Chain A
Amino acid sequence: DAGVIQSPRHEVTEMGQEVTLRCKPISGHDYLFWYRQTMMRGLELLIYFNNNVPIDDSGMPEDRFSAKMPNASFSTLKIQPSEPRDSAVYFCASSEGGFNEQFFGPGTRLTVL
C-alpha cells in the first residue's frame, strides 16, 4: 500500500508568491494532519481534518495560511503571500481513528527567497 504522498518535494519561490502544497493520505485513513518542521521549533501541528472537515486550525500561524480537504484522498496547504520566515519543511500525515500512529509523508521543503 502506498504511503502518504506529498508534492512537490522541493519548492523555491520568491517572497509574495502563492505557494500550494499537496497531500494524498493513505487510503482509508480518516484523519489528516499538516505539520511544519524547523530547527528552532521542531514539529508543529498546523491543522488537522477528520473525515475531510477541518477540526482545529489553531496552529496555523497567520491568515496567510489556509488548508482544504475537498475529498478523502486530497488536501492542500496554501500560503499567500509567502514570506521568507515561512521557509521550513511541511509534512502531511494521516491516521486511522485519531492522533495515534500517524504516518508521515516525505515532506515538502519550502524555501522563500
Chain B
Amino acid sequence: GQQLNQSPQSMFIQEGEDVSMNCTSSSIFNTWLWYKQDPGEGPVLLIALYKAGELTSNGRLTAQFGITRKDSFLNISASIPSDVGIYFCAGQGLNSGNTPLVFGKGTRLSVIA
C-alpha cells in the first residue's frame, strides 16, 4: 500500500530558528495535508494543499505541494516554544473518490528557549 516517509523523525532547535521538514511518497498524491499534534490532544489541521506546485502559508508556517506530486514540505519560520509538538503529513492518492488519507509517522519538534 501507499506509504509516506516523513523526515526528520525528530529535531531539536533553538528558539528563533527556522525549521524544515518533508514528506515523500513512492506514489503520486493529489492532496497533501499538514497537521500538528500537541501532547494529549488530537491532530489539528494546519495547511491543506490541492495543486502541484502550490505554496500556502498560515502565519509563520509555509507548506508546498511538490511538483512531482510525490512530496511536500513544511517550513516554520522564527520558531517559538509553542511550536513544540508532532507534525504529521497526510496524503490522498490519485484514485479519486474517497481514498483514505495516508499519514506519515510524524516529526517531533522540540524548541529550546
**In the complex, A105→B35 CA distance in Å?**
13
Of residues 1 through 45 on chain B, the ones whose CB sits less than 8 Å from some CB of chain A are 31, 33, 35, 40-45
Most chain A beta carbons < 10 A, residue from B41, B44, B101, B103: B101
CB pair A103 B45 closer than 8 Å? yes
Residue of A nearest to B44 (CB): A104
A113 CB–B CB distance under 8 Å: no
Interface size on B, residues (CB 8 A): 21
Interface size class, chain A = 20 to 34
**Contact surface of B with A, Cβ cutoff 8 Å:** 31, 33, 35, 40-45, 48, 50, 88, 92, 98-101, 103-106
Q: A42-B105, A42-B106, A43-B103 are in contact. Are A98 and B42 (CB under 8 A)?
A: no
**In the complex, A50→B98 CA distance in Å?**
10
Main secondary structure of the interface of A (DSSP, over half): strand
List, in ascending order, chain B residues with CB within 8 A of A101's CB.
33, 45, 48
